Amino acid sequence: MAKSTALPVALSIGLLAIGVLIGRFVWPRGATPGRPDIAAVPVIFIHGYAGKAESWIDRNYADAHATHKGFAWRGTLSVDRDGVVQLSAPPRQAEWSPARFPAYALALSNNGRNAIDASAEEVARAVGFAKKEHQAERVVLVGFSLGGVIARAYLVAHVDDHCVSQLITINSPHGGSELAYLYNLRKALGDLAAGREPDLTALQPMPTVLDPLIRTLAKVPRGNSVGTDLRRLLATWLADQLDEVSTKHGFMLHDAAVADVRPPAVLTGGKGNYLHRLNTSRHPADVEYWALTGKKNLLDLSAADFVDDLAVLDPESGGPAATERSGIVGVLTECARALLGGGTNGDGWVSLQSQGLDGVAYLRDNQIRVHTLQVDGTHMKPVLQQEVVPLVIRSGGASN
């Protein structure tokens, strides 16, 4: 069955209308035609958790953006251990041409598995590089999945000197991911295996079939040596099994990034977790915020959609195993949500509500305007809508 990657006609027309009405399709102010890329608006693409910078190019983003006047890829950025930005895979001289929007893909350390704040500082380095390279006043940040949260964390950390005109997030878990609650489950098993008492209250947000067993193991008296040894052996085995399953699906439950993306909550003692602190922190008001969200209702998932999902290479790894993650896991997650009464409101990994920026406490409470564009598809599918990002950037980013 042939697969179509074209946007719905109505969506394409609507996006084009935005650009025409706003009327911002001019060369950036201060640009010097004799010095290509100077005073342009650099665009930095940030991959998601356990991802890679090449995913943007593997998914033909480079080719798609090249069809839009003013866009050109300039290579991959990475930050070494000394904090120095390195540029790799620049275009060949014969392929180089002046660009209004020179674009880079940022390769995060440890494939984006580190704590969000650590990755956000790499974004800061990349922004500094792009500004200097192009003598630019502003840049545009585009983040897929966790990359969007990382980009927003950069804005919060540099709220008074961020240099960003637009933030565009794609399927990003601004309100956290329910799957990240499994971090609490893994931690509880680790505590039991090490002979420590687990925090059972942390298991409440997302009950699993293992919860009763964990609670039973936690009740084993310390004076019972046989019971204590059995508890450790069983907890160790369960933790290993959980690690094996999660690793096959591309994530490690004990990664710092997974802990950071648990849904916002106020913990014992009144201290908020990472997303609670991030979402209530001051955000810059001079940024144009966009959230590209994805939704795939389980009831609307046809056989063709399912096969289509399996045929798509995962942008997070580009490998054959990733096909299984993007299609099967997304669909099974939706099935689990439906069976648990959670509905099918999301893209298979992140709920629709979590993907939106209008749920971020500071943006909402301070009435900072956010734009939302919903695209039909599972977590990996909306990133295929290659027409969207260039049009959104061209509609406003150049003149901010």
8 A C-beta contact, residue 266 and residue 276? yes
CB proximity list for 320: less than 8 A, separation 6 or greater: 313
- Residue 192 within a domain: yes
CA gap 328, 91 in Å, rounded: 36
Is residue 251 classed as helix, strand or coil in its secondary structure?
Answer: coil
From residue 380, how far is each of 88, 119, 208, 222, 281 by CA, in Å? Answer: 26, 22, 26, 47, 29
Which of 208, 226, 260 lies at the terminal end of a domain, its last residue? 260
Residues 248 and 386 in one domain: no
Residues 233 and 303 in one domain: no
179-214 pLDDT, tens digit per residue, is 777 777 888 888 888 888 888 777 766 566 677 777
Residue-number span of the structural domain to which 208 is assigned: 178-260
Residues 17 and 153 in one domain: yes
pLDDT of residue 332: 43
- Residue 2 within a domain: no
Q: Is 8 exposed, middle or buried (0-12, 13-18, 19+ CB in 10 A)?
A: exposed
The residues facing 288 across adjacent strands are 166
- Residue 266 within a domain: no
Number of domains in the chain: 2
Residues 51 and 148 in one domain: yes
Farthest CA pair distance, the chain: 80
211 Ramachandran zone, left/alpha/beta (phi>0; psi -120 to 50): alpha
CA gap 295, 292 in Å, rounded: 10
Residues 118 and 215 in one domain: no
135 Ramachandran zone, left/alpha/beta (phi>0; psi -120 to 50): left
Residues 186 and 149 in one domain: no
CA gap 239, 60 in Å, rounded: 38
- Residue 184 within a domain: yes
- Supply 400's token pair: 């901010």
Residues 367 and 342 in one domain: yes
Residue the block writes with tokens 């997030």: 169
Residues 135 and 228 in one domain: no
8 A C-beta contact, residue 170 and residue 142? yes
- Residue 3 within a domain: no
8 A C-beta contact, residue 362 and residue 280? yes
Residues 365 and 296 in one domain: yes
Residue 171 DSSP one-character state: S
Residues 48 and 140 in one domain: yes
Residue 7 DSSP one-character state: P
In one letter, which amino acid is 110? N
307-340 pLDDT, tens digit per residue, is 444 333 343 434 333 433 444 444 444 444 443 3
Which of 230, 260, 290 lies at the terminal end of a domain, its last residue? 260
| Degrees, nearest 5: CA angle 331-202-186 | 60
8 A C-beta contact, residue 163 and residue 139? yes
8 A C-beta contact, residue 218 and residue 200? yes
pLDDT of residue 213: 77
CA gap 268, 201 in Å, rounded: 9
CA gap 109, 50 in Å, rounded: 10
DSSP element (H, E) containing 373: strand 370-376
CA gap 261, 201 in Å, rounded: 18
The residue among 292, 288, 308 whose CA lies nearest residue 388 is 292
Residue ranges of the chain with pLDDT lower than 50? 1-35, 298-299, 301-344, 382, 384, 398-400
Residues 217 and 138 in one domain: no
The residues facing 291 across adjacent strands are 169, 372
CA gap 246, 13 in Å, rounded: 41
CB proximity list for 4: less than 8 A, separation 6 or greater: none
- Residue 269 within a domain: no
The residues facing 346 across adjacent strands are 351
Which of 201, 232, 260 lies at the terminal end of a domain, its last residue? 260
The residue among 9, 35, 224, 229 whose CA lies nearest residue 135 is 35
From residue 400, how far is each of 141, 286, 301 by CA, in Å? Answer: 13, 9, 40
- Residue 265 within a domain: no
pLDDT of residue 122: 98
pLDDT of residue 68: 63
Residues 109 and 240 in one domain: no
pLDDT of residue 331: 44
Is residue 9 classed as helix, strand or coil in its secondary structure?
Answer: helix
The CATH number covering residue 367 comes to: 3.40.50.1820
pLDDT of residue 216: 81
- Residue 387 within a domain: yes
Is residue 117 classed as helix, strand or coil in its secondary structure?
Answer: helix
